[in-house]
Amino acid sequence: MYKAPANVMFKEPISEGVKTFVREQIQTVPKLEVLLLLYREQSRLFTLAEVANELGFENDTAWEQLTALEAIGLIETNKDKYRYHPINATLESIVDRLAVAYPKQRVPILSAILAKDPNKTRRFVEAFKLARRND
């Protein structure tokens, strides 16, 4: 029987709730990146141009992601400024868990996004490029 050395730490598996949330609500890597940016800087109000610039997106791409995140209740808009503001404690809790897991377990989270996508290979390459650029 294999016994791991004492200094080897195993990663805690990502909860099914987080995987389901990512797969059903987030659905794309750009949307995930916008969510995590606003989550990390919760006290800051972002303009569309600031979100696009921070993530290296075109304004149209950033706008699509912001609009989608607002529609699912994760951000709020006030006078063309955006900030992370989940509409309920359930969403807040799941995003908290996602934000903690993502830096340590990108591949399983990105895999959840890509699992049902017919263009998996192309999107995985895009996701990998985004993840590497943000390191």
Q: Give, to the nearest 10 degrees, the angle between helix 48-55 and helix 29-40.
A: 110
82/38 Cα distance (integer angstroms) = 8
Per-domain boundaries in the chain: 17-133
Tens-binned pLDDT, residue by residue, of the chain (135 aa):
545 455 444 566 788 889 999 999 999 999 999 999 999 999 999 999 999 999 999 999 999 999 999 999 999 999 899 999 999 999 999 999 999 999 988 888 998 888 765 555 555 556 555 555 555
- pTM greater than the 0.85 cutoff: no
User: What's the fold here for domain 17-133?
Assistant: Arc Repressor Mutant, subunit A (1.10.10)
